[in-house]
Structure 1
Amino acid sequence: MVKPVTTNHFDSALPLIDRNRCTGCGLCEQLCPTNAVEVYAGKATIVRPADCTFCEVCESYCPVGAIGRPFAIVFAPPAPRCTLG
C-alpha cells in the first residue's frame, strides 16, 4: 500500500474527495487508468497526484458522489485554420 503524498503542482486541479461521504468501496481505485487513486485507511485517496490525467473516471463512477471538482474542465474547440491570401 502506498501512502498518500502531497504536491502543490496539481492540487488546485485534482478531484476533491469528500472523506465523509466516501464508503471506501474501491471502485475508483479499480477504474483509475493511471493508478493515481487508492483506498488508503478506508477512504479513496489521490496517492499519485502527478499521474492524474483529469479524465474524470473516478468522478463519473463514484456510486455515492464523493469525488468531484469545484469547477469543470472544458477544452476549447480548435481554432479555425487561417490562410494568407
Structure 2
Amino acid sequence: MQPGIHPEYRPVVFRDKAGGLAFLTRSTATGTQTVEWEDGRTYPVIGVEISSAGHPFYTGRSRVLDTAGRVERFQRRYGTARR
C-alpha cells in the first residue's frame, strides 16, 4: 500500500438504533459521537438503521409471501393476455 493515500483504519462501534445491538469492529468510517466500551477505552460510534438484532429475517418475524396465490388471483381477475 502506498503511504498517505488511504484513510485511517481504526476501531469503531456500530450501534443499531432500533435493536440496541452494538459491536466493536474496525472501519474507515468516522463518527462525531463517542462511547466508552467494555474495555474502558473510548471509540467513535456509527449509528445504523438496521442490523441482525432487528431485521425480520434474523429475528424470525419475517412473513412468507404467497407468490403463487398472487399470480393465480391476478389471472382470475384480469384473465390471460390475448394476442
Query: What is the TM-score with the length of structure 1 in the denominator?
Result: 0.29
Q: Higher relative contact order at CA 8 Å, sep ≥6: structure 1 or structure 2?
A: 1
Query: What is the TM-score with the length of structure 2 in the denominator?
Result: 0.29
Q: For the pair shown, which has the larger CA radius of gyration, 1 or 2?
A: 2
